[in-house]
Amino acid sequence: MNDTFIEKLLEKENGRQNSVINLIASENYVSNDVMNAVGSVLMNKYAEGYPGKRYYGGNSVIDEIELLCQKRALDLFGLSPDDWSVNVQAHSGSPANMASLMALAPIGATIMGMELSSGGHLTHGHSASATGKIWNQVSYGVSKETEVLDYDEIARIAMQAKPAVIIAGYTAYPRQVDWKRFRQIADQCGAYLMADISHISGLIAGGVYPSPFAYADVVTTTTHKMLRGPRGALIFSRNDERKLSKKIDSAVFPGIQGGPHMHSITGIAVALYETTLPEYHTYTQTVVDTARALADILAGLGWRIVSGGTDSHMILIDTWMNGRGVSGKRASELLEERGIIVNMNTIPFDTRAPSDPSGIRIGTGAIVTRGATIDGMQELAKKIDGILRG
């Protein structure tokens, strides 16, 4: 590389990634095949529009790649193209959610999503996000006693607010979601049901977490977490008289984006192929098994695990514990100093500021990609415990 400054920084970051224990729940490691696809000649092509309907010439091969990516996305979740469509062009999860809401809810309408402190995402209608400025968010949370979803309370809020869209699926909620119950609630109040499975799509594909596809109208996911692809997103929508796929396609382009990142879409296609390999199911099961083991061991060492455990790759730990521990920010700093990377995170009913909350969020997806097993969780938990207790 002629740019020696960037070359040195790339080498530095590569060294960092190879020397740490990465417990960030929203990160993972791509294969060399995915990386090569993203850094390929596809970087050079502009492909504004959709297959067969491009605004630039020279896109015959591009069309084949995008159609293949769409087919692999539908096949991954066992979806028939007669019943479902998928848009693969959203640059990431936030624009995917924005485009979906644009297709489902008129400007100014009410949408319903989980409050941020309980595990919801900014793009589910939080006031700091454009989604909270364009639409009116009515939020729901978790039970104060159990720290899990209270579906009767969610139904009560929905019937009172009558939202256009109910969003289920979260960024920091470690337990299983009852998709069927959400469908019933949405039907009762006349709302679309949108499932954001960005964190758990790989677990669903691997058969170790319940699927929302029998119940949701629209399903969104990023591709760079448990699917181990490049940064991008998928938007699935039902094919019926509501023509949701057409509305979503228009919302993505020309609604909020120009040309798609075809190099990323190619990398996504490769990652989707890799999920069909036999070892992928084993990978997802190991991810969940290690997360549960790590949560149980940390609880045994005296740390409070939010909601009492996990059903996914994700664990929320209350490090503050009424002042007996350390803040989430300080916990993250202490762990990073010793080569363990996590992110600070709010916990339900947090009394501390989001900039220095009461907890941390950890995940096992990345470490299992690099070979971690249940056998290593005892040592990892003891290391975390020793660092945080000083």
Our answer to whether residue 336 is catalytic in this structure is no
**Which pLDDT score, from 0 to 100, does residue 323 have?**
76
State the pLDDT at residue 324: 78
> 192 catalytic, yes or no?
no
Place of tokens 């949108």: 194
- List 54, 183, 225, 329, catalytic entry: 225
* Cβ 117 vs Cβ 170: under 8 Å: no
Distance CA 387, CA 390 (A): 5
Give Cα separations from 70 to 190, 234, 387 (angstroms).
30, 9, 45
231 counts as catalytic: yes
Token pair 């009492």 is found at 308
Cα atoms found within 13 Å of the Cα of residue 291, Cβ hemisphere only: 30
DSSP string, 20-37: SEE--TT-----HHHHHH
Nearest alpha-carbon partner for 101 in 233, 202, 196:
196
Neighbours of 377 (CB within 10 A): 22
pLDDT at 322: 74
Q: One of 231, 242, 330, 352 is an active-site residue; which one?
A: 231
Active-site residue flag, 196: yes
The DSSP output letter for 303 is P
> From the candidates 222, 284, 286, 310, which is the catalytic residue?
222
Q: How far apart are CA 135 and CA 192, in angstroms?
A: 15
Q: What is the pLDDT of residue 282?
A: 97
Among residues 27, 48, 178, 385, the one annotated as catalytic is 48
196, 217, 274, 311: which is the annotated catalytic residue? 196
pLDDT for res 178: 98
Q: Which mean pLDDT values do the consecutive 10-residue runs of the chain (390 residues) have?
A: 96 97 98 98 96 96 98 98 98 97 97 94 93 96 97 98 97 97 98 98 98 98 98 97 96 97 98 96 98 98 97 98 89 98 96 95 98 98 95
**What DSSP string describes 125-141?**
T-TTSHHHHHSEEEEE-
Active site residue 361: no
Among the listed residues 46, 50, 55, 273, the single catalytic one is 46
